[in-house]
Structures are given as C-alpha cells and as structure tokens.
Structure 1
Amino acid sequence: MHLHRIQLKRIKSLAASIPRSLFHLRVQTRAFNVHHDTISLRLASRNYLRTRKFLLMFYNTGSVLVIFGMFTAVALLVWTMVSLLSSTFLRVTAPDTSASLLKRAVEVTTRATTYSRVTHAVNPIIPGLTVPLKHLPLILLSLCISQIMHESGHAITAAIHRIPMLAAGASMTFMFPAAFVTLPSARVEELSSLDRLRVVTSGCFHNLTLWLILLAAGWSGIGQRILLVGYEDVFTRGLIVAHVEADSPLSMHLPVGSFLTTLDDLPLHSSRDAWSTYLLEPNPAVYKQGWCVDVSRLNGEHGTCCCVDTDSSTSSSCFVSFESTIEEYCTDPVPILSKMQNRCDSSTSCLESQSCIKPREDRDILRITVNNEGAGTEDERIVLWSGPRYEVWEQVQTTHLAPRFGIIPLGLPLVFADFFQYLKLTNLSLYLFNSLPLPALDGSQLLIILLEIVFTKWSHTPSTMIDIEALRTRGSRSYERRVQQVLRTFVLIGTCTLLGSCVMLGIIEWMIV
C-alpha cells in the first residue's frame, strides 16, 4: 500500500490543488518556506558550525541504519513469502479431520498444533479483521504523526545543504493520510552522492529514531508515571473492568467499574500479568481448596463420569475428589462453584455425609470473583464462565488504574496504551517499508545512490560538471550506466515480485482458513 511519496519534481503552481477525484484530496502550502529558509541560513553561518557538524554526523549514522533497514526489509519479505508458502501448503494438504468441529474449536486445536511452527515476519493491520474496527481513528492518527515525523527529516537535511523547500502539504487517498515536502530536483541532483544519501534516508531515519524513543519511554515507564497524576494504581486490590463487548454474555454480569479479585483460586494481584497468563496459557485450573458436597447429590460411580458423553444438553459436569483424581463424580456445577463457603482441604474437613471435590482439569469452567464496590468481601460474588478461558480475555478488558476524579474516563489508559503501540508500529513500519527498493519510495532513490557510489567509487560530481566531463569520458561511463540500470531494474522487479507474492499468498491463506 502506497502511503508516502517524496516529490522531487518541479511544480508550476504552489497553490492548493483542486482534487481530481473524491478518492484523492491534496493540499499544499508555502507557509513553511520562510521558516525553512531561516533555518538554512543559520546552519550556514559560523555561529552554528558545531550544530551543523553534529547534524551531519547524526544523519550520516542514519544513512547507515537506513541501508541496513533496506536489507532487513527485503529479508523480512523473503521470510514472509517462505512462511506463507509453507503455511498455505500445509493448509491445502492437511487432512480435513475437524470438519465437524465448531469454528472456535478449529482455531484452538488445529492452529495451535498443526501450524504452531509457522510464523510470519510481517502481519498486516486491517481494522475489523486483524484489529478491532474501533482502533481505526488511533491508527490514522498515529499514521499522520509518523508521516509528519518522516517529512521533517527531509526538510531538515534539505536545510542543512541549502536546498529551498518549494512547498509542503498533505493528501488523503480513500481514508489514508499522507504528507509530503516538495524540493527542487535540480538542486538535489547537484549534491554529492553522500549529501543526497542524507536527504533521501533522513525520513526513514526519523521514523527509526522516534521508534527508539518510544521504546525507551515504554521501558522507563514514564507514561505510567504521567497517568498516575490522574489515576490511582489499585493493583493490590485487583483489576477493574474497563470494557466488555456488547454482545458478550459477560456484559450482564461484569459491569464496567467492578473489581475482579480472583480467577478460580488465583489472586489477580499475584503478578502484573496474572490476568493474561491465566486466561491465555493452557495450564490446569488453580484450586487451592475444594467444596464440601453431600454424597447424595453426586451421581455416577467411582471411576466413571456421566460427562464422558458429548451431549451438551445436560447441565452436569465432571468433578473429582480433591484428594484423589481417580474418584470421579457428576453433578450440577452451578450450586457448588457459585458459593464461597463450604471450602475444604480434604474430606475430613467436611461432614460424614459429604465429600471434598473439585472440577476435573479438562472441564472448561472458570470462576470469576467480582466485587462491585471494590472493598470488603461481603459484596463479593462469583460469576461462572463455561467455555475456553481465552474467550474471556477477548471479550473483557481490564485495567489496574482507577480515576482519582469522577470526570476522568476509566478507559483512557487503555486508549493511551493502544495508541502508544500503534505509534511504535507505524514508525517501525514506515522505516522498513519506505526503505524497500520499490518505485515511488525512498528505497528506489537509495538504490540509485548506492549503485552510483559503488560504480563511481565515491567520485560523483555536480550535475553542472557532468555534462562537460561526459564529452570526454562518454565511452567509459556508458557501460557503467547500463550496468547500473540493469541491476536497478532487476532489484526493483524482484522486490515488487516478493511484495506481490506475499499479498497474493496472504489473501489465499485468509480465504482457505
């Protein structure tokens, strides 16, 4: 998808352009040209000589990192194509042994086993398919910020090399925003190969720099400290329900703002990632105690269980003795698991007519302890969930930050966290994607400069002198130009083929899932 383009062509009109189509809107302005010229004059003066030298070293480092990013991006494309080929082959040739299973069952069993070894280096972000549709505004906002950061790199390096900026602007294709700066191509071509390398790679380097800054900010926890100004960390008390999917059965039982204290018998304050770990990892349920139940209520005989049948019409579930898993029973789990009393460590803790039991490990029953007020155990109640635990993680969002003031939204930290992740991802994506040797991207200009440096051995001269020298050395340089053109065409076609193959295989894999 083409989201960015640097325009290095002369333009006749710098006024706001009239859109040719409703699907493509474009506006540009010369309001920033004066500020750009001011920065360029200051960097050329002796008072800012050290600043200019520092910026040259800074963007020299960026050029090296963007060259590395170009090779890395191509390697990721190759890896993605190979992984897509292998996964598509496995899906097409795998026997259809799960035709009678439900869709969720196929996702849990087949994907977790057959395709667990297949990983893709690149996964697309598609609102409504791979990410929630409600995240679309966050994605577009992060994309706008990332592209402004990208274009600022080209503007700054142009100012360093005394190249005027003709215009700056933004465009909208369908719903995807893009930014651009327009530079005079003749002035750019007059630069040496290294200077042009700085101008071309500075945009990707800015995206990489912002990504590294965001990584450092996340590692330092500065965002958490800022949020604590208006929020209180209630991790020691449990987690707060921040959002529940509207079509989820849990929406009636887990109101927004209620406290969740335990999952089964696991306290949620035991670790920061207890919620995700317990719901996503296929570990046995944690039961520190059992329940005392009258033996007369336990149907079935020792060593057997009525729940071996797959009949979903019955409300009974399998239980085992808390002391020995060999003893199995079958009974209705709701009257037992919904109570917080009658807990036991062994049958000796119960009455003579009772037995200490717990749910069998293969039963998909989850106990969620809820406290609507967030304080005291007298208001606690139990919500039972029957089904895979990961579905609770998908349908319920929790947070450990409670607003200090009533006017502050409860879900703001989650929105901030999502936006932070998308901002990191868009900057990393622009750094890698724009460094690819593809037409209309920075990578194509980067490829031209690299081939020029390799074949001319760093001896590129300004374009005003090339015409004079070409009259004398036309025979020796024509062969080099042909080799460069052949190599450039080969790399561009190869990269386009890789990208097209990844898109086509991704669509095929999505259709056969």
Structure 2
Amino acid sequence: MFLTEDLSHYKLYDLSCEFFTSFKCSRGLCSRRSQSCRLSLNVAVDKGMSCSHYPYLYFLEKTGLKVGPGRIQWCTTVVNSYFQKIVRYNPNFWRRWFALGVWVTCLMLPVAVYLVASTTVSNLWKKNQLDNHNLSPSLEPMIPGVNLPLGDLNYYLSAIAISSVVHEAGHAFAAQREGVQVSGFGFCIFLILPAAYVLLSSNQVQALPSCRSLRISTAGVWHNTVLSLLAYATVILMPHFVSPFYSQGTGVYVVGFSEDSPLRGSTGFYHGDIIVNVNNNCDVKNKLDWKQCISDTLSENNERLGFCIGINFLLENTSPTAFKDLLADSTNCCPNYKSEHLCFTTTFPEDIVKQVSDLDRTLLKKNCLPARKVIEESGISCRTHTSCPSSKPLCIHPLLANDTHLLAIRRTTEEPNQPKLVIFLGHPAEIWWGVQVSDFIPRFRFISLFASRLPDISLLLMKYIAILSSGLALINMLPIFMFDGQYIITDILLYFLIRFISRDVVEKIAKLLLISCSILFIACLVSYLF
C-alpha cells in the first residue's frame, strides 16, 4: 500500500488509508486539504512509505520530533514566550549584560588562539624529543574510556547537556533583546552526545549593525564562561555549604562497594564506617590521604612494613612448625593451620642474638602466628628492630608473595560486635577499587545512603561542568568554521574596520583568518591523536 498524490483531491486509493484519514478529519485533528495533512501525505509519498507509516509521521509532526541516522531531534516553540518575558523585565540590565559578554569574549579570544597554537607546537615537539617534560599550558580533549573513567560517563553527558542548554539560551536571550525572532528551541542527541540548539531568523541577524549582532554571537560563549565560574566557585565553597550536615577532616566515610568487592560484609566494611588509619603509620583524614596510604603500601614491594612485638608474645603464640619448613625458602611455614595464621620472619637486636643459641635462632626465624592478634598486640609498625621500643624489641615481617600485602585498616563503626581493625590480605588496589569513600561524614544518623553521597555527586558534577563549559566557551570563540567564532570574528572586524575599508575587504580578511585558524585547530587535533 502506497500513498499517491492527486493534486485535486489528495485521494488515498487504499481503503484502509481512506478510513484512517477520514477518522482523523472527523476527530477534527486535521483536514485532508489542510497544509499539515498535505505536508504529511507528501512526505510519505516522496519517501514511498505505506499508509501504516502515517500515524508515525503525524506523531513526529505534532511533537516536534525528528529521527535520523544516529540522531534524535526535538524542537519546540513553547519556550519562546519565556525568552521574551525575561528580556522585557529589565532591558537595560540585559543590554549591559551582553555588552560585558562582548568585551570578555574579545579579551579571551587571543588567549584561546594562543592555547591552540601552543598545544599544537607542544604536541609536535614531544613527538620529536625524548624529554617530554613541558610546563606550558595546553589543551587536551576529554574522551570517556581514554582519559576519563567510564564510570563518570553520566556526569560527563549531564555536564555537556547543561553547558549546551546554557550556551543556546544565551543566544536566545540576546536575540530577543536585539529584536530577532526566535523560531524555536531544540535538543538533539547525536549517537550518545546531547546538544541544544536555537533557531533564529538569519535575515534579521544579518540586517543588524555589527555591534548588535556581536552581542548575539558572543552570548553563548559569555554564558558558558559565567557558568564555568559559578561551577568552580561551587566546588570551592561546597564544604562550607554542607558543613551544617557533614563534617570533614576526620577520616573517609564508606558509602558503597563494587559488585565483587571482597571487603563487604562481616569480614570487611559496612556502609557508614569511617576509615582513620592504615598500618598504624598512615593517618587518613580525606580521600587524598586514603589514596596516598594505599599508594605507599604498593611502593613497599621490597621493604614491607613489620610489626613490633615482645619476646614473650612471640614464644607464647608461635604455632608448631616442621623443621624442614623452617629451613626451606618458603612463605608458608604453617600449612596445617587456619587461614588467620600467617608466616612471619623475625629480625633480632644484637643483645638478643647473643643470648640465644643457633638452633633457637633458627626456630625463631620463621613463626606461624595469628595475624590479627599480632597486629592488635603490636600497634607499632616498623622496618627493622631499631624502630621498636624496648618493651617490644622484635620486628616481625609477614612472608608473602610479591603482589600480596598485609594491611591493617583502623575504622570507627556503628555496627555492634565488630572489631575496630579490618585485616586485608591481598593486592592493595582491590581496596581502592572495591571500597567507595567520601570526604563528607554525615553529622546525623537520619541522613540516608543517597544523601550521604549527595555532596560527592554534586561536587563531581560541578567539576565536570566547570571543565566542559569552559571548554565549550573556548572552542566556540575560536575563529573556525561551523562554530560561533565564524560569526564573532566577522562581527569584530566589521565593527573596528568598516570605517576604514570596504565591507568586501573586511569579509575577505575574516575568511582568511577563519581558514588559517581552522587549519591550526585541525593540526592541534591531529597532533594529539597521532
């Protein structure tokens, strides 16, 4: 079944199509001779669609949706009246506001061009030099999965959407202020990237003097700059905003776990635990300390921390070990005992060495000891026996495989009958990825799990908005094709040079600058990718 156009009647030769169209007309939704019906039918005829596609086309037409290869668009005119009402409320404010945006953009434009040029030179220089140390400022595209964690993809897309909406709203407000008609405000998703857009009357914009059209072309950059500054200020002031409900600087707050984390539950952490120390020698006050403590543990592959204990404790708690296991070069000197026992090696002070026989030293060289009891009894970390007090003169080290570490993590917990120490045996990276922590510790117990993460969620979103909004402003102010800079550079040159040279010459100069900067921008991208 296909729709066929008849110029006199727009007949539908198929009965089902005739019934559908008659039903629509009888409901008053459209007339067969109305412009909207003719448009939908013509589109269907041109595309060779069957009548079954008509409801789909009608739905898209009425809702403002457009669906194409890899993209979905939505456009509406509902918000046009709001743009008009807002700019009419205080016209003088908006005139000064967008005039300030023009000056800020003009001052930032040379900086943006310099950053692109310096980044291009820097990337090319690094590829030709062995020494890659470079302290000059440079640009770097943010690519999820490459230099951004995929787990932050939702923040990344949200920040792009917010920055894009604010950018296009700036153009819409400025256009209404200058008397240019706004035909619609839309939103588009290309693949997975969201973007907003605004439809303006190009004839009206071109008819404006350069100073007025410049306010429109720079409005998006200006709004992105302001948004970036506000987001950055929020990041700085966030601890003060939430201080009535959250405290900081006394540890990190456990807010969640990865799906396969070995540190969840009765042998590990609970939601609401506060981590305060690692291995008795590294205090944890915030997430940076937490990361540093774990990194320090990873850097101790050849010199692991030991624990100071007394001689009596060693003799009383050492479990029997086969003599052949003591002499063997093995990390397992207690194979017949429970998993809480580990093999430890002992270093002796000189005065103790003289007091024991060779056989006793052999027996005490490797010891099968309960790990938790050792750590709780010790309370003091050591490298050698020289850092141990006289009351606990022995420094014992766990005998472990190269990638395995013994960590004692001290925490405060509200769970009943749970120890203050969490003993972890494994690779420290499992702790970093398996336990999710926050700098913000709730002051009140009624704060829910989501509310306990709210400051971190807000903080991370604001960081992404600050970065991406400033990046969007920088890219759009560059004099390159397909961006706002294409119109900004033309309006700037017309404003300053039209009194001295003809318009045609000014436009040729603007086109030359556009071509040069576009080539430079492409070279910057290529130098980064290749």
TM-score range, shorter chain: 0.5 to 0.7
Match of 1:174 in 2: 191
Aligned partner of residue 440 in structure 1, secondary structure: coil
Decide whether the 8 Å contact of 1:452 with 1:484 is kept in 2: no
CA drift at 1:283: 8.0
Letter in 1 for 2:139: V
Residues 339 and 180 from structure 1, CA distance in 2 versus in 1: closer, same or farther, beyond 3 angstroms? same
Match of 2:112 in 1: 73
CA drift at 1:119: 8.3
| Whole-angstrom distance in 2 between the partners of 1:225 and 1:385 | 39
* 1:300-327 per-position Cα deviation (integer Å, ceiling 9, x unaligned): xxxxxx799xxxxxx8677767999xxx
* 1:72-120 per-position Cα deviation (integer Å, ceiling 9, x unaligned): 3333333433443355456xx7xxxxxxxxxxxxxxxxxxxx8666888
Residues 392 and 115 from structure 1, CA distance in 2 versus in 1: closer, same or farther, beyond 3 angstroms? farther
Residues 87 and 122 from structure 1, CA distance in 2 versus in 1: closer, same or farther, beyond 3 angstroms? same
Match among 363, 376, 391 for residue 340 of structure 1: 376
Identity of aligned residues (%): 21
Match among 385, 408, 412 for residue 368 of structure 1: 408
Decide whether the 8 Å contact of 1:319 with 1:358 is kept in 2: yes
Residues 212 and 118 from structure 1, CA distance in 2 versus in 1: closer, same or farther, beyond 3 angstroms? closer
Decide whether the 8 Å contact of 1:370 with 1:380 is kept in 2: yes
| Whole-angstrom distance in 2 between the partners of 1:271 and 1:170 | 40
Alignment pair present for 1:404 and 2:418: no
Alignment pair present for 1:61 and 2:113: no
CA drift at 1:227: 7.3
The aligned length equals 424
Trace 1:209-248 onto structure 2 (pairs within 5 A): 209-221=226-238, 225-226=241-242, 228-229=244-245, 232-233=246-247, 236=250, 238-248=251-261
Residues 477 and 414 from structure 1, CA distance in 2 versus in 1: closer, same or farther, beyond 3 angstroms? closer
Decide whether the 8 Å contact of 2:163 with 2:465 is kept in 1: yes
Match among 406, 424, 427 for residue 384 of structure 1: 424
| Whole-angstrom distance in 2 between the partners of 1:161 and 1:287 | 70
Residues 246 and 167 from structure 1, CA distance in 2 versus in 1: closer, same or farther, beyond 3 angstroms? same
CA drift at 1:208: 1.0
Alignment pair present for 1:33 and 2:80: yes
Aligned partner of residue 259 in structure 2, secondary structure: coil
| Whole-angstrom distance in 1 between the partners of 2:514 and 2:453 | 50
CA drift at 1:16: 5.4
Match among 161, 164, 180 for residue 163 of structure 1: 180
Match of 2:324 in 1: none
CA drift at 1:438: 2.4
| Whole-angstrom distance in 2 between the partners of 1:266 and 1:38 | 62
* Bigger shift: residues 276-285 or 436-445: 276-285
Decide whether the 8 Å contact of 2:163 with 2:468 is kept in 1: yes
Letter in 1 for 2:252: L
Decide whether the 8 Å contact of 1:144 with 1:177 is kept in 2: yes
Match of 2:310 in 1: 292
| Whole-angstrom distance in 2 between the partners of 1:149 and 1:496 | 26
Decide whether the 8 Å contact of 2:188 with 2:194 is kept in 1: yes
Decide whether the 8 Å contact of 1:155 with 1:181 is kept in 2: yes
Match among 278, 285, 288 for residue 263 of structure 1: 278
Residues 366 and 417 from structure 1, CA distance in 2 versus in 1: closer, same or farther, beyond 3 angstroms? farther
| Whole-angstrom distance in 2 between the partners of 1:127 and 1:357 | 45
Decide whether the 8 Å contact of 1:30 with 1:166 is kept in 2: yes
* 1:145-204 per-position Cα deviation (integer Å, ceiling 9, x unaligned): 211111121122112212221111111111111111111112112222222211111111
Residues 372 and 29 from structure 1, CA distance in 2 versus in 1: closer, same or farther, beyond 3 angstroms? same
**TM-score in terms of structure 2 length:** 0.66
The structure showing larger relative contact order (alpha-carbon pairs under 8 Å, at least 6 residues apart) is 1
Aligned partner of residue 209 in structure 1, secondary structure: helix
CA drift at 1:449: 1.8
**TM-score in terms of structure 1 length:** 0.68
Alignment pair present for 1:444 and 2:483: no
Letter in 1 for 2:421: R
| Whole-angstrom distance in 1 between the partners of 2:141 and 2:409 | 37
| Whole-angstrom distance in 1 between the partners of 2:368 and 2:210 | 75
Residues 488 and 288 from structure 1, CA distance in 2 versus in 1: closer, same or farther, beyond 3 angstroms? same
Decide whether the 8 Å contact of 1:280 with 1:393 is kept in 2: no
CA drift at 1:398: 1.2
| Whole-angstrom distance in 2 between the partners of 1:72 and 1:62 | 16
Trace 1:76-155 onto structure 2 (pairs within 5 A): 76-89=115-128, 121-155=138-172
Decide whether the 8 Å contact of 2:254 with 2:275 is kept in 1: yes
| Whole-angstrom distance in 1 between the partners of 2:289 and 2:456 | 17
Match of 1:205 in 2: 222
Residues 157 and 414 from structure 1, CA distance in 2 versus in 1: closer, same or farther, beyond 3 angstroms? same
Alignment pair present for 1:279 and 2:319: no
Match of 2:473 in 1: 431
Decide whether the 8 Å contact of 2:252 with 2:285 is kept in 1: no
Report the structure number with the largest CA radius of gyration. 2
Decide whether the 8 Å contact of 1:170 with 1:177 is kept in 2: yes
Letter in 2 for 1:290: C
Letter in 1 for 2:255: A
CA drift at 1:341: 0.4
Trace 1:456-467 onto structure 2 (pairs within 5 A): 456-457=498-499
Aligned partner of residue 411 in structure 1, secondary structure: helix
Match among 44, 51, 70 for residue 23 of structure 1: 70
Match of 1:499 in 2: 525
Match of 2:26 in 1: none
CA drift at 1:413: 3.3
